[in-house]
Amino acid sequence: MRYGPLILTLSLLLAGCDDMNHQPRYDSYEKSRLFADGKALQAPPDGTIGRDDLQNAQALANRPPVNIELLQRGQQEFGIYCTPCHDTAGFGNGTVPARGFPHPPSFHIDRLRQAPSRYFVEVISKGHGVMYSYADRVSPRDRWAIAAYIRALQLSQDADAAGLPPEDQAQLRRAGS
Ligand code: HEC
C-alpha cells in the first residue's frame, strides 16, 4: 500500500504526457476539411514577402563603406564560416578538404583576384558548385564584411612594394640587401 500514492502520481503524470501528444491542432502534413484542397499546410498567398526581405535586399544591394571596423568583422566571420575549408589565408587548404571534401580554389588565383567584391557576396548568398549557401547564417552586411576581408587577404599575397609608405620601402630594401 505504501506505493499507492506514487503509482497514482505516476499514472496521472503519464496521462498528462498523452494529452500533450494529442493536442487539438493540425500537424503540417495532416488532412484538413477547412480548406478546399484538403490540406492543413497552406502556401502563403501570392505576393507575400518575408518580414526582413526588403531590408535584406537593400543591405545586399548597398555595399557598406570599407573601414577597419568592417574588416575586423569580416575577419571574425571569415574565421567562423570560411576557414574550415578555405583556411585562414584563403589558399583552400582547410581542415575539411584535408578530410576528403573537394578542395576549394585558392582566392589568390587571377580569376578571383579580378572578380568584383559583389561576386564574393553572391557566392556566400547562393553557394557555388558543391559549396552550399551561407545565406541563413551570414547576414547581408556580414557578407560584405567577409568580401572586404577576402580583398585584404588577396592584397596580403600580392602587394605592390611601390604602394608601401617610404619607411616600409626602406625597411624592405634593407631586408633584401
Ligand atoms: C565546407 C567547405 C566550405 C566552406 C565552409 C566554405 N566554402 Fe567556399 N568553396 C568550397 C568549395 C569546395 C568550393 C569549390 C566549389 C566548386 O567549384 O564546386 C568553394 C568555392 C568558393 C569560392 C570560389 C567560387 C569560384 O568562382 O570558383 C568562393 C569565392 C568561396 N568559396 C567563398 C567562401 C566564403 C566567403 C565562405 C565563408 C562564408 C566559404 N566559401 C565557405 C568549400 C567551402
Q: Is the CB of 120 under 6 A from ligand 1?
A: yes
Q: Contact at 8 Å (CB) between 60 and 124?
A: no
Distance 158 CA to ligand 1 centre (A): 20
pLDDT digits (tens, 9 = 90+) for 153-167: 999 999 888 988 999
Q: Alpha carbon of 167 to those of 21, 57, 75, 164: distances in Å?
A: 73, 44, 27, 8
pLDDT digits (tens, 9 = 90+) for 71-130: 999 999 999 999 999 999 999 999 999 999 999 999 999 999 999 999 999 999 999 999
Q: Is the CB of 126 under 6 A from ligand 1?
A: no
Q: Contact at 8 Å (CB) between 26 and 35?
A: no
Is residue 144 packed enough to be buried (19+ CB in 10 Å), middle (13-18) or exposed (0-12)?
A: buried
All three cell numbers of 121, joined, read 557576396
